[in-house]
Chain A
Amino acid sequence: MTAWVKGDATDAEGAIAAAAALLAAAHAPVFAGLNADVAAIRAAYRLAGTIGASLDTQGAAGTYADLGALARVGAMTTTPAEARGRADVALVVGAKPEASALVAALRGGKPVRGRAAGADRQVLSVGGASAETLPSDLALLRAYAKGHLKDESPLNGIARALYAAQYGVVLYDPAELGELGVEMLQGLVRDVNEVTRCFALSLGDSDQDRAVVQVSAWTTGQAPRTGFGRKVPEHDPWRFDAVRQVSAGEADAALWLSSLPAARPDWLGALPSIAIVGEGSPEAVPGTAEIVIAVGVPGASAGGVLWNEGRAALTYRPGAGGGPSAADVLARIEHHIAGKDS
């Protein structure tokens, strides 16, 4: 295992002991990133519960835009495979989804299953021109869909196309839309479902936030931004925002878990920190944090359960070798702390 403590290369045991000492001395540690396989995310929640840490994720902005709207108005969603197989109308909302492979596949194909099988597929777009006007474009589109506005505008055409579809899919990036935009979009989808089938499909970043949402739900009953400072899991999206906690000086130690590739957060150098990063990644260098431990990359150099974007499910991805696992490192840190306390 490759590991560094304060810039000096060390063995696994030394780095784990140093990490345990750092976390044991902290009063309000934060765990950020959580961009890893399910076993590592579970180990992170266990360790956080033991030491009273709080957790936050890599893609929290998008995750909470979706979750906030879900909690308020619900959601009607589909999977990428269903969209490719059944959609005869796809509506691309905003600029970001244009870069996704799914949108390219939708443009290049036709529905092959269901009521629209064999029909041509229309791929429409709205709000890609300006992020500024995106939520109000969506509001306008919904007003046309409801029939509250009527004229010859292109948005009215899009609204009519959604109603005329056998199976419509609305693709969006939650971080680009924000909670207000996602709620407006889910409202539009719900309105169209009074007449025909229509679904939303959230295209997030490639991080493991979807996996974290599930692990967090079955572990704590809550969404990811949960703190264990008072022993019981408390969910508070504002209070446990890692960036806010660090900039307000509330956190006194950080553990950044990212065994999958992700950019190092800027604030990591601002407080005593541990980085658990994928071996061979650009972040697996001594300068990333006070303590750096390189672990196997799930799905590449180690096996692991990851969120499968295409199937919209948690699936096992085999890895090449027996690299040290992030889950094992976190469990050993927990053992170390427990041993010292007893």
Chain B
Amino acid sequence: MKAISVKNFKKSYRSEFWLKKIPAIEDLSFEVEQSTVTGFLGANGAGKSTTIKSILGLLIPDAGEIRFFGDKELSPETRSRIGFLPERPFFYEYLSGKEFLEFYAQLSGMKLGKKLNLRIEELLELVGLSHAGEKKLREYSKGMLQRVGIAQAIIHDPELIIFDEPMSGLDPDGRYDVGQILQQIAEQGKTVFFSSHLLDDVERISKNLVVLKKGSLIYQGSLAELLGNVDSDYRIEYTDSTELFSEEVKDQESLQKRLDEIRQKKMAIVRIQPVKANLEQAYVNLNEK
């Protein structure tokens, strides 16, 4: 079943009331499978946040159809099955961590009481904030806000969780921790759809990708498939018995040609190593197409 299905979605903006509308997303269609982790890639301004906000009904699309969990519209019932963390979240700074989570739990239809208190404790532990539940959010660091933001997104145990740039602006430790939390959520069988322009993180966490370029889809599919399409490089190490040389060649044909040349020069081949394709390379190739 499809957790999200977007068909022929269009959205344009008017920067000023009297100016002409500028298209931000043009005829976008993609799907997100249930119980998968899907990375949503694109350069700054590609339309990732616009798409996410439109999926969630925060922006009103000009055209197109957005469905959830098969063919359900974005009704309050559907929203109770979705969790969301926006980019660079800013929450009610006058609330403590616990009050904040309690408020969002109530908005998701959960009842106040022992069960909810336990759930809040459990989540604060999951995101590593057990010590800060009573602190006001104004005293939280950026990383702590991101963590408590993740906790509010999953407090009602949603099936689909959407994160907009969850690792943006965090230090390497924070990025790693948030990545770990996302993986833990995914291991529970939830559908995770997250946007990012940090390719290492996307490669580490997601199995599927949706890639946007200037408001249009340029790739949808598995990460493995995308990496498989990239021509692997090969590193050759050889020696003339006085010095060790190393160089990279692009593909099999170039590799064979270069090996012949080395042998003709009577040099010894020490090692031939395939250089694993990474997402960065694949992403650059996609954008160049």
Asked whether A and B interact, the reply is no
Residues in chain A within 8 A of chain B (CB atoms): none
